[in-house]
């Protein structure tokens, strides 16, 4: 007598359960992606705007958000050019180093536009900020458009830490041809692709080990011209404590050469 083994069949209820599991996994993956904490941005704005001493608050618009805080600061005389100032992880466009840079560069002849980058909750991990790079790029593009509309044909970017990574992602995808120069400060990663514009790659003498190592890797990717170079600011840390004037002066010297058209080809080795 031969026994026949039956093959289990999936009925409609089994298929429904499988489809539900797949759908829930898909929804969970979407939910896991970080989204900007707009409420935190609003709290920053309410705190920052009334305390602005130099410069004027304005609001940029991007598709995802109609109100993005920016602070525009004009120089005392005729502007030599304009600079977008991009802050790092989880802060605002008048925070410490950024507030110093936007005002000190204006004192040195450059109009500055410091822009609120997307933020997450205060306890969010650094890696989660990669989900915000598209949003950050839209804000940089909006700042660039605003400055062009204001009459500034040449625009540079100065960006710190996570803001430098956000700028790197923006330049790798779009906008690189319209940026006159870039100053990443304390950037913690390598270039996504070699930048085509003049770059002053700045780290601190006592910067994070990751920033110092990444700067060594980036050196080979700098454009070959008479302006691009790496440099270290002495006797300070990742946040440039006590050295913002030295940093601003180094940036001014670099931008003066770029905006005066003095970069040219790199000298022979």
Per-residue model confidence (pLDDT) at position 31: 38
Structure tokens that stand for 185 in this block: 């400060």
Backbone angles phi, psi at 183, to 5 degrees: -120, 95
8 Å CB contact between 183 and 161: no
Angle at 105 between CA 171 and CA 102, to 5 degrees: 70
Dist. CA 98–CA 34, nearest whole Å: 24
Q: Please tell me the pTM assigned to this model.
A: 0.86
Per-residue model confidence (pLDDT) at position 34: 78
Query: Residue 147: is it exposed, middle or buried by C-beta count within 10 angstroms (0-12/13-18/19+)?
Result: buried
Per-residue model confidence (pLDDT) at position 105: 98
Long-range CB contacts for residues 19-27, cutoff 8 Å, separation at least 24: none
Q: Where are the alpha helices (DSSP H) in the chain?
A: 12-32, 38-48, 96-107, 133-149, 162-173, 209-218, 244-259
Topology, domain 37-258: Rossmann fold (3.40.50)
Per-residue pLDDT of the chain (269 residues; tens, 9 = 90+): 444 444 445 455 554 454 444 333 333 333 346 799 999 999 999 999 999 999 999 999 998 888 999 999 999 999 999 999 999 999 999 999 999 999 999 999 999 999 999 999 999 999 999 999 999 999 999 999 999 999 999 999 999 999 999 999 999 987 667 899 999 999 999 999 999 999 999 999 999 999 999 999 999 999 889 999 999 999 999 999 999 999 999 999 999 999 999 998 655 44
Per-residue model confidence (pLDDT) at position 221: 93
Per-residue model confidence (pLDDT) at position 22: 37
> What is the secondary structure of 92-147 as a DSSP string?
-TTSHHHHHHHHHHHHTTEEEEEEPPP---TT--GGGGGGGHHHHHHHHHHHHHHH
Any bridge partners for residue 231, and if so which?
Answer: 202
Per-residue model confidence (pLDDT) at position 264: 81
């Amino acid at each position: 007598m031969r026994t026949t083994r039956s093959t289990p069949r999936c009925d409609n209820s089994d298929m429904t359960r499988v489809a539900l599991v797949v759908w829930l996994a898909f929804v969970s993956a979407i939910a896991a992606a970080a989204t900007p904490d707009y409420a935190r941005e609003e709290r920053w704005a309410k705190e920052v705007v009334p305390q602005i001493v130099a410069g004027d608050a304005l609001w940029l618009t991007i598709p995802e958000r109609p109100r993005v805080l920016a602070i525009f600061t004009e120089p005392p005389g005729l502007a030599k050019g304009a600079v977008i100032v991009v802050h790092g992880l989880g802060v605002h466009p008048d925070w410490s180093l950024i507030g110093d840079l936007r005002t000190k560069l204006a004192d040195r002849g450059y109009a500055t536009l410091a822009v609120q980058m997307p933020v997450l909750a205060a306890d969010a991990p650094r890696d989660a900020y990669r989900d915000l790079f598209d949003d950050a790029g839209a804000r940089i593009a909006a700042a660039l458009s605003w400055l062009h509309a204001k009459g500034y044909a040449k625009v540079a970017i100065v960006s710190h830490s996570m803001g430098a990574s956000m700028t790197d992602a923006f330049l790798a995808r779009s906008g690189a041809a319209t940026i006159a120069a870039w100053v990443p400060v304390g950037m913690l990663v390598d270039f996504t692709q070699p930048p085509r514009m003049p770059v002053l790659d700045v780290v601190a003498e006592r910067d994070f080990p990751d920033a110092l190592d990444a700067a060594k890797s980036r050196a080979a990717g700098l454009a070959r011209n008479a302006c691009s170079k790496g440099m270290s600011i002495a006797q300070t840390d990742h946040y440039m404590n006590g050295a913002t004037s030295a940093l601003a002066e180094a940036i001014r010297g670099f931008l003066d050469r770029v905006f005066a058209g003095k970069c040219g080809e790199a000298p022979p080795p």
